[in-house]
Amino acid sequence: MKPSDGLILLGSLALAWPAARASGNPEQAPPVVLEPLFVEASSANPWQHFTVPGFEVISHCPDDFNLAYARALQRSTAARAAILPADFWGTLASPMKIVLYNREAPEGQFLGRPRPIDLSWSADGEAPAGSYGIRRSHPAMVGDGDTFINCGNYHNLLSAADDFYVDPDSEVLLRCRVPQFPSWFVEALEGPCGLLAGRVAEAGSLGRDSVVLPALTWMSRAETAAIQKDPKRPRALLPMGELFGGAVSERDQPAWDAQVALFARWGLFRREADGRDHREAFLGFVRAAASQPVDEALFRGFFEMGYAEAGARLGDYVGVAVNEAIRIPVTVAPLERLESRDATQFEIARIVGDWGRLEGRVVGMQNLDYQRECLEQADRLFEKAYARQSSDPEFLAAFGLYALQSGDMRRAREALGSAVEAGVARPRAYLELARLRLGDALPFAEQGIGDLGEADYAGIVALLARARAQQPSLVGSYLLLARAMEHAPRTPGRGDMAALEEGLGRFPRNAALAYKVATLYRRFGYPDLAASVASRALRLAVADEDRARLATFVAAGR
Q: If you ran DSSP here, which 8-state letter would residue 247 be given?
A: -
From residue 480, give the alpha-carbon distance in Å to each of 99, 380, 426, 486, 515: 33, 32, 17, 10, 14
pLDDT given for residue 313 in this prediction: 95
DSSP type of residue 121: B
Range with top average pLDDT, 12-16, 106-110, 463-467:
463-467
> Can you spell out the DSSP letters for 409-438?
HHHHHHHHHHHHHTT-S-HHHHHHHHHHHH
For residue 146, is pLDDT > 80?
yes
Rounded to whole angstroms, how far apart are CA atoms 156 and 468? 42
Q: Are 386 and 371 in contact (CB under 8 A)?
A: no
20 pLDDT tier (thresholds 50, 70, 90): very low
Selection from 200, 196, 91, 96 nearest residue 141 by Cα = 96
Q: Which of 172-176, 188-192, 249-253, 314-318 has the lowest mean pLDDT?
A: 249-253
Q: What is the pLDDT of residues 343-379, one digit of tens each?
A: 999 999 999 999 989 988 765 556 677 778 888 888 9
pLDDT cut 90: percent of the chain above it: 61
- pLDDT confidence of residue 24: 37
- Residue 236: pLDDT above 60? yes
105, pLDDT greater than 60: no
Angle at 75 between CA 71 and CA 76, to 5 degrees: 120
Among the listed ranges 21-25, 94-98, 237-241, 550-554, which one has the minimum average pLDDT value? Answer: 21-25
State the average pLDDT over residues 104-129: 40
* Confidence check: pLDDT of 283 > 90: yes
Give the model's pLDDT for residue 446: 79
pLDDT in the model for residue 364? 58
Q: Exposed, middle or buried: residue 216 (CB in 10 Å: 0-12, 13-18, 19+)? A: buried
Least confident of 43-47, 61-65, 134-138, 347-351: 134-138
Give the N- to C-terminal CA distance of the chain in Å, as an integer: 42
Cis peptide preceding 472, ω within 30 of 0: yes
Average pLDDT (91-113) is 71
Please state, in angstroms and rounded to a whole number, the distance separating the CA atoms of residues 395 and 311: 53
What's the chain's average pLDDT?
A: 83
- Rounded mean pLDDT, 223-236: 90
pLDDT score for 159: 57
* Residue of higher predicted confidence among 166 and 51: 51
In three state form, how does the secondary structure of 145-178 look? CCCEEEEEECHHHCCCCCCCCCCCCHHHHHHHCC
Q: What's the pLDDT at 133?
A: 52
3-state secondary structure 307-372: HHHHHHHHHHHHHHHCCCCEEEEEECCCCCCCCCEECCHHHHHHHHHHHHHHHHCCCCCCCHHHHH
Range 59-71 average pLDDT: 89
Q: Per DSSP, what are the bridge partners of residue 208?
A: 331
pLDDT at 41 over 90: no
Residue 467 has pLDDT above 60, yes or no: yes
Question: Over 70: is that where the pLDDT of 485 sits?
Answer: yes
Average pLDDT over residues 513-520: 97
Instruction: Give the Cα separation of 433 and 464 in Å (integer).
Output: 9
8 A C-beta contact, residue 291 and residue 508: yes
Domain range list for the chain: 9-175, 221-324
Q: Model pTM?
A: 0.85
The predicted structure's pLDDT at residue 12:
31
**Which amino acid, one-letter code, is at 283?**
L
pLDDT (mean) for 437-466: 93
pLDDT at 462 over 90: yes
Q: How confident is the model at residue 496 (pLDDT cuts 50, 70, 90)?
A: very high
Residue pLDDT, tens place only, 156-189: 665 555 667 788 899 999 999 999 999 999 999 9
